[in-house]
Amino acid sequence: MAKDANVFARVDASLKEDAERILAQLGMPMSNAINVFLNQVVLRRGLPFEVTLPDKTPVAAGSLTDDEFYAEVKRGYDDCAAGRTRPAEEAFRDIEAEFGL
């Protein structure tokens, strides 16, 4: 199939750089990745992945009332007192995986 059309899209510069770095590791230029994506859209007659909101979102302290904040702190304290702890590296790894950070 001849490539005779252009697609122009404005994206965040750091997102583009991150994607290019990953694609380079795969040996694939951005234009090929976009072609793969568009081919999958046509083949699947829609997006080639599920688009949803996450089931969980991290708790942002600034979005909590004082009572909610203190309840979260107490819950953490109760977990520590009951021995429900684990290494910080493991906890951060799980948080990054769960929330895509």
User: Are residues 44 and 84 located together in one domain of the fold?
Assistant: no
Whether 32 maps to a domain, the answer reads yes
Burial pattern 58-74, b for ≥16 Cβ within 10 A else e, equals eeeeeeeeeeeeeeeee
CA distance 6 to 35: 11
pLDDT in tens, 9-31: 999 999 999 999 999 999 999 99
Residue 59 contacts by C-beta under 8 Å, 6 or more apart in sequence? 72
Residue 47's domain comprises 1-51
Give the percent of the chain with pLDDT over 90. Answer: 52
Task: Read off the pLDDT band of 58 (50, 70, 90).
Answer: low
CA distance 46 to 38: 10
Task: Read off the pLDDT band of 39 (50, 70, 90).
Answer: very high
Whether 56 maps to a domain, the answer reads no
